[in-house]
Structure 1
């Protein structure tokens, strides 16, 4: 049995704390996805409580990939209560209302539909998305270690958008899992002293302040290129020591990259520059993983003709 909701009930969930939408007569609670929406949270909040069927397939305003439709299944909570569905609903179940998962208010489902109803292809809401790829609700390492996926299948699956609240768990053991988590501030705490050390060494070896600054900035630019190449080719390039200053700049560029990458994924970003880069980077994840490799800027995507056109 699956829950039925009226249009009025769906419209009552129209804010960031409890955001519901309908798509093809199905009801979705996308509250946990609002801040992660690749196009920005405003686009999804503007449609909160409404039907998005036409919007999802509109090529001019906001065309969505097949993966986006598959990801929507993760947020399915029921079906829209239409004349067609209510006519075939089992009357005995009408008094068995349940509280929806948002839990933000007291609105409850008005009905259920019978699984034997020929008007629907029912989805088991409790065990949905149990497909043959990794189950994101369980530790991932052992699943992958014991899997027999082909390379082609694996590459196809990892580039299909999936979303869960919080982080996916890597290990079943809490002692191993804690080693996979690093607070954001550890990066600058660890690396800024390395930056200062290299700048000091550069000065101590007789390089003038003006040249230190020049090589430092060259190192920052170097990192932006490394950022692009690492993201695209998963290779590392180590700079030769003409100065420690350039190495310091590269380290500093890495800090900017890592902080920006974390910021784009986990924060409600500033509108200036970062809003555009968040949309751009999430488009790399959700729309086309074969472009949009830059994180802090689009410079190298433009140079190498891999810029995503949004």
Structure 2
């Protein structure tokens, strides 16, 4: 197939949300399908639509992009920018993601085949012969899919892997209300509020612990395909496709499975309504956490704290997955020395 060469005027004409092109090191990318999934929001992309963003990608005042960001660009490559002398002369050659871009000092890495997001992903992990080191390296290189990539392939199973954000409050708020009502049968309101607050604070530690020691238990993960498949289902898919809108909140089945032991610990350790009061606080903390998680991936945060946490969490995805486990705050990252 002949390499397409575009003039600067042609590129500049594509600067709207319906059709957005950019250039990086004289390579032309059509990022129209990516605009609303951009981790930094669509506004910044629209600001630079139809223009060269080579220097912007390395500008500390904007955001220094990681190697993963360059990898994510490659599927949107459509051709080359014409030579500076003008006209549609011969290009210097097809864009090679593995080439060294000496003008920026950045060496882009070629996107390596790992999981084909157009086919059921779970089977690909299961039948692979990847070792643990390779799997963990590749699954933490973010990719992008315009729609949710299939996990199982079967439509009936696929439904259970897709969770709209509004399902979380719809499912959990009645359960929280019941726990609170049950607690108030034996606990006076003032004491209930205090215990509720304790449970809410406890959630912040549970949030950190689950994220760091369950979802990111890479050091203890056995080098076996069963373990890698479980890891992929539990959290690996979120790091592989971090902007998938339908897999940003925890499916109720998984959430209930994780919540039941916590509920049991509360209720059997603190009887007479005390455990129920603290449970209701922790469950509300979970709902808020899941909503914040979705919001910082796809929302436009208001207020300095949420804006800071959006940057912080996206750095966890796009820069260093081994640090920065806090979603709603950095408090426990500071305490346990895992601050990004």
Displacement after TM superposition at 1:25 (Å): 0.8
Displacement after TM superposition at 1:268 (Å): 4.2
Match of 1:87 in 2: 89
Distance in 2, Cα, partners of 1:13 & 1:3 = 16
Q: Do structure 1's residue 192 and structure 2's residue 173 form an aligned pair? A: yes
Q: Do structure 1's residue 240 and structure 2's residue 274 form an aligned pair? A: no
Match of 2:323 in 1: 291
Match of 2:251 in 1: none
Structure 2 SS opposite 1:28: strand
What does 1:5-84 align with in structure 2 at a 5 Å threshold? 5-58=6-59, 61-82=62-83, 83=85
Match of 2:205 among 199, 206, 225: 225
Match of 1:120 among 90, 93, 99: 93
Q: Which moved more, 1:262-271 or 1:283-292?
A: 262-271
Q: Mind listing any 5+ residue stretches in structure 1 that lack a counterpart?
A: 89-112, 114-118, 124-128
Q: Is the 8 A contact 1:23 1:53 kept in 2?
A: yes
Q: Which moved more, 1:279-288 or 1:146-155?
A: 279-288
Kindly report the root-mean-square deviation, in angstroms, between the aligned alpha carbons of the 2 structures.
Answer: 2.5
Q: Do structure 1's residue 259 and structure 2's residue 291 form an aligned pair? A: yes
Indicate how the Cα distance of structure 1 residues 85 and 137 shifts in structure 2: closer, same or farther if over 3 A, else same: farther
Query: Higher Cα Rg: structure 1 or 2?
Result: 1
Q: Is the 8 A contact 1:138 1:169 kept in 2?
A: yes
Distance in 1, Cα, partners of 2:89 & 2:142 = 36
Instruction: Name the count of aligned residue pairs.
Output: 274
Distance in 2, Cα, partners of 1:39 & 1:122 = 25
Displacement after TM superposition at 1:289 (Å): 1.0
Indicate how the Cα distance of structure 1 residues 45 and 300 shifts in structure 2: closer, same or farther if over 3 A, else same: farther
Q: Do structure 1's residue 182 and structure 2's residue 163 form an aligned pair? A: yes
Indicate how the Cα distance of structure 1 residues 84 and 139 shifts in structure 2: closer, same or farther if over 3 A, else same: farther
Displacement after TM superposition at 1:141 (Å): 1.2
Q: Mind listing any 5+ residue stretches in structure 2 that lack a counterpart?
A: 97-109, 216-257
Instruction: Spell out, residue by residue over 1:140-177, the C-alpha distance to the aligned partner (whole angstroms, 9 max, x if none).
Output: 11111111111000000011121111222112211221
Q: Is the 8 A contact 1:20 1:30 kept in 2?
A: yes
Q: Which moved more, 1:265-274 or 1:219-228?
A: 265-274
Displacement after TM superposition at 1:130 (Å): 7.9
Match of 2:190 in 1: 210
Displacement after TM superposition at 1:132 (Å): 3.2
Distance in 1, Cα, partners of 2:161 & 2:331 = 31
Distance in 2, Cα, partners of 1:249 & 1:264 = 22
Match of 2:135 among 144, 154, 175: 154
Distance in 1, Cα, partners of 2:339 & 2:159 = 36
Instruction: Spell out, residue by residue over 1:286-305, the C-alpha distance to the aligned partner (whole angstroms, 9 max, x if none).
Output: 11112221222222223223
Q: Is the 8 A contact 1:27 1:78 kept in 2?
A: yes
Distance in 1, Cα, partners of 2:59 & 2:168 = 41
Match of 1:126 in 2: none
Structure 1 SS opposite 2:266: coil
What does 1:271-286 align with in structure 2 at a 5 Å threshold? 273-286=305-318
When the two structures are superposed, what TM-score results if normalisation uses the length of structure 1? 0.80
